[in-house]
Chain A
Amino acid sequence: MQSKVLLAKNGIEYAFDVSDLADRPTVVWIHGEFGSFDDPPLNDALKSSVNLINLHLPGWGKSVGGENFDQINELATAMWWLLEEITENKVFLAGYGLGATVAIEMAIQQPGRISGMVFGSPFGMFKESDPGVDIFALMQRDLLKEIYADPKSELVKRHFPSSEDGYERGLIAIRRVEVLGAASRYIFPIPDTNIRSRAYRLAKIPMTILFGRSDGVVPFSLSELWQESFPHAEIIILEGAGHMLAYETDEISVSIKKMLADQGAHK
């Protein structure tokens, strides 16, 4: 992938990564509320068989700006501008957490441009009886066990390093403020983006939604609400995975491959 390509519009500097665009399906990955840790968490088999575009949301560090956005549909509109600069192809949208929420908003705006959607741990619906933990209030020591099935794994150490150096620890704290501060524009204090009232726009789009059984932030019990709003969607609840299921399992890649195969079979 070619990294850190920059485009500017309306005071925002957009960063994105893109592979060579060939005559094959295009998958767009949108990172979650914690930003991009590294390359999109998709397996090599999938990456080698599709065009891959990795969008960096403005405000999360790599893309800069977006301070005037108050609603997630404003962010989705901005991401459409960027995507249209990159490709005119129909695309598959994929992401997790807030990235899933942005993907849904983008699809609502232009359903005709979407071939399919696979996303995990989506924000956008809320149950007072099972609210999940508040990611904006939890200290890191309390947060990790709510977002990973195994909070002591090497993956967690890579994503959320710790340090005994005061300066390094300060930088880690600033990074947390940067990414969750950006996310707070769209899902604070309650991550209900009123998707249910607009879900009808996506009735014809193939969709797979994954939940982690160990997710303390987006409880898997919300899968019932998502199924009600998107009766055509395949809902999968993953054992041994939490909110960060995109990094903890391979299931998003597996679901995209399956969707690609299904659509190829129907052609």
Chain B
Amino acid sequence: MPFDGLPEDFQQRYRSVWVDIPPEVQDVKRIHTLYNDYLDELEYAAVKGFDAIGVNEHHSNAYGMMSSPNMMGAALARRITDTQSQLLVMGDAVSLYNPPIRVAEELAMLDVLSGGRLITGFPVGSSQDANFAYGVPPVTMRAKHREGLELVLKAWKSKEVFSFNGRFTKLRYVNPWPKPLQDPHPPIWMPGSGSVETMDLAAEMDIPFFLLSYFGADFAENMFKKYWSRVEEAGRDYNPFRTGMVQLVMVGDTDAEAKRLYEKHVQYFYQRCTHIYPGFTEAPGYKTIRSLKEVLPAKGSSVKSRPDSFAVAQKYSWDELVENGIVIGGSPDTVRERLEAVSKKSNIGNWILMLHIGSMPRELAMHNIGLFAEKVKPGLSNVFAEAELRWWPKPIDGFQAATVSPVHREETK
């Protein structure tokens, strides 16, 4: 949920779009409209047949103004009950919350409210959000994440009130009311940016790992190779639904039309929304020494920015963004073929599509969503038809969802 009013000279005038972006840049009246536009777009996607609509979490950030994904999830939960769409909350980094039982409670509420449609994501949390905006010491992030997740799962599954004596959280009575509707709990996905520890945790817990990247699956090919080797090492199967990825997708009637419609909005994103002070990217200790050694350049290599870095991407033209797979954009056929190819190449069974990006206006986002739903998605739905969809909400025995009644304004007078 980006703010679309960053000035053209944002990079020159300000240090960072995230963490210490000055409040003076905000236009709260505009944000009121944007929140409603973005919720409309998500509801439209649900109506158009998307398998799920998703919200995420960022803090002190002008390109992701959703500091509470659960609040947006609640706004959506009762508006999609006449669709088949599930509700994905790809946020709630448990290490940010004290006590993290609050996360268990709010997600359980969302699951009950939505009639058992919830899919949860449990990110470790970005350094910008967790360390700099929320003050979590970077070296404790992973331990807090593990402990918080353990507490949430136990709170959801336990049939009794219990005590929790963790290193970071001590609770005499753990007793969330209500528990989730899905039994024992909603599906859990594990988003990450490529740390081997996150991949290993997902494999250990037998849940999907989702790569959150703004650079596309082509650049992530080696990352997925690494992931699948760790999955194999952990003795898990090669099920494509065991992974997923974020991808910018822009559909037009033709390739040229897509460029004409979307180029300036994508460039707004890469030139303004990703202008992040490098010191905020990873607080010391956020990544383990082990993870950093995994990506050490070879001896004698030159020092230059990687092609899949924000510093370089901000200079890419539309054609370069598309050519590098950072944006999958073009006609419905172009987009479908490209998505199918990268799905098969890296065995990716889930895609979290960013169909609204940067300064894109509501009508254009709706156009993109509609074209994708009508002309691209049907051709992709059977790419992995043989694979078992294990990490997805399942029908609940004996459950009949409540009818959401329209507001009877006469009665409230």
Contacts and interface: CB of A to CB of B under 8 A. Distances in A.
Interface of A: 67-68, 70, 136-139, 142, 163-167, 169-171, 173-174, 176-185, 188-190
B296 A188 contact: no
A182 B292 contact: no
A68 B139 CA distance: 10
Interface of B: 19, 131-132, 135, 137-140, 167, 277-280, 282-287, 289, 292-293, 295-303
Contact of A174 (B135, B278, B292): B292
7 contacts: A136-B283, A171-B296, A174-B296, A181-B139, A181-B284, A188-B138, A189-B137
- Chain A CB within 10 A, most for which of B284, B287, B296: B284
A interface, by DSSP: helix, strand, loop or mixed?
helix
- Chain B CB within 10 A, most for which of A68, A173, A177: A177
B68 to A, nearest CB: 21
A169 B137 contact: no
Given A70-B140, A165-B300, A184-B139, 20 more contacts: A68-B167, A136-B131, A136-B284, A137-B277, A164-B303, A165-B301, A166-B301, A171-B296, A173-B292, A174-B292, A174-B293, A176-B284, A178-B289, A180-B285, A181-B139, A181-B284, A181-B285, A181-B286, A182-B285, A189-B131
B140 A185 contact: yes
A173 to B, nearest CB: 7
Nearest to A143: B279
A188 to B, nearest CB: 5
Nearest to A168: B299
B139 A189 contact: no
Contacts of B282: 177
Given A70-B140, A185-B140, A167 B283 contact: no
A167 B137 CA distance: 27
Nearest to A33: B284
Contact of B287 (A136, A170, A177, A182): A177
B285 A184 contact: yes
A166 B139 contact: no
Contacts of A138: 279
Nearest to B135: A189
B279 A139 contact: yes
A184 B300 contact: no
B285 A177 contact: yes
A137 B132 contact: yes
B284 A165 contact: no
- Chain A CB within 10 A, most for which of B139, B140, B279, B301: B139
A188 B137 contact: yes
A170 B285 contact: no
Nearest to B299: A167
Contacts of A67: 139
Contacts of B131: 136, 188-189
Nearest to B132: A137
B279 A165 contact: no
A137 B303 contact: no
Contact of B300 (A167, A170, A177, A179): A167
A177 B131 CA distance: 14
Closest 7 CB pairs of A and B: A181-B285, A166-B297, A166-B301, A180-B284, A189-B135, A181-B284, A137-B279
B137 A184 contact: yes
B135 A169 contact: no
Contacts of A183: 284
